[in-house]
Amino acid sequence: MKTNVTIIGLGLIGGSLGLAIKRNPSIYVTGFDSSPETMTEAYRRGIIDAIPSSFQDACRNADIIIFSTPVNTTVKLMYDVADLQLKKDVILTDTGSTKGPIMHAASCLNEKGITFVGGHPMAGSHKSGVSAAKEHLFENAYYILTPESTTEEAAIEQLKKLLEPTKAKIKILHADEHDRMTAIVSHFPHLVASSLVGMLSAQQSVQPFVNKLAAGGFRDITRIASADPSMWRDITIQNRVELLKQLDVWLDEMGNVREMLIHNDSAQIHNYFADAKTFRDELPITSQGALYMTYDLHIDIPDHPGIISEITKILADESISLTNLRIVETRTDVFGILVISFQTADDREKAKLALSRETNYGMHIL
């Protein structure tokens, strides 16, 4: 018997979910999007099996409905779907990165006996839209589920089974716990990165060369400040309470750093950096966390014409895709003059192996 799954929103996440869950031949996917062109492309690529005539039509016969739209849109649609005629045991879920507003809106569903389980796949890409969808996007990434305390275990297990083909690591958290942790490791770092860029911008008028020096390590540590400002405006507003708590912790920490600098105790300063290095070096590196990350390969190369095209040809011959390539002039804390970015750790390791076999280019891979 087929399980009818409806995905609302066919962007990168919704499209990739469609591809992933269709690894299970018993899954039949209907996809709805505000863009008819997007639905057509999703159908052409085999992401969905059917294009509905309307939002109501998409939801009517679904066993599971997945909202893969921005949080504000999902909240609105949840109120809309509460007034529709749905199958008796339908399960609703979402993919939003903040759970507080979503779980609050879910009360309108609970009042009508409709099961809702919050969800957040912690995966991403440097590209967006249905054209960027790929079935392996969620592999080895954390996929958080945030059910209500009253949610029946059978519904949670049914959702877990649906998500098995994604090969994600599924974890159960309370919605408040999810929002607190994502504030710490994802949402607040975006604020910090943007504030660092803002500080650089403010000082450029009196130090015009500073932006050239920022092209190395500074550019790397503030990479996330280049994210979609509209999306991060919404996330900041939605998780404002937790972000304010983290800001207070940050200000306390910066106060401690200021006192450390005032006292100018070399042993204390050394220990501060040593403790940070130890903790950071022990963080796991084998899986995707809450922040989308790229996997970089740093290469020292000789300066002769055509060397970069030769390197990209080696990668192309091995069918290895790269997401970015740049030459670094400011070398402080940056290992290697050429930085190549990949989407997965596997691609980075394959590239390292392929380039290491080429000994006649004088390359040194770090």
Q: Are 98 and 179 in contact (CB under 8 A)?
A: yes
Q: What is the residue extent of each domain of the chain?
A: 3-173, 178-281, 295-365
Burial (Cβ within 10 Å: 0-12, 13-18, ≥19) of residue 281: exposed
Q: Domain 295-365 - what CATH class?
A: alpha beta
Round to whole Å and give the CA distance between 262 and 308. 47
Mean of the per-residue pLDDT values of the chain: 88
Q: Which two tokens stand for residue 62?
A: 């679904």
- For the stretch 129-162, pLDDT in tens is 999 899 988 988 899 999 998 999 999 999 999 9
Q: Is the pLDDT of residue 334 over 70?
A: no
What percent of the chain is predicted at pLDDT more than 70?
A: 90
Q: With cut-offs at 50, 70 and 90, classify the pLDDT of residue 366.
A: low
Distance of CA 248 to the CA centre of its chain: 25
Distance of CA 279 to the CA centre of its chain: 23
Q: Is the pLDDT of residue 7 over 60?
A: yes
Amino acid at 325: L
CATH level 3 topology of 3-173: Rossmann fold (3.40.50)
Angle at which helix 229-238 crosses helix 188-203, to 10 degrees, equals: 130
What DSSP letter does each residue of 197-224 carry, written as one string? Answer: HHHHHHHTTT-TTHHHHTTTHHHHHTGG
What DSSP letter does each residue of 5-50 carry, written as one string? Answer: EEEE--SHHHHHHHHHHTTSTTEEEEEE-S-HHHHHHHHHTTS-SB
CATH architecture of 178-281: Orthogonal Bundle (1.10)
The per-residue pLDDT for 224 is: 83
Whats the size of the chain, residue-wise?
Answer: 366
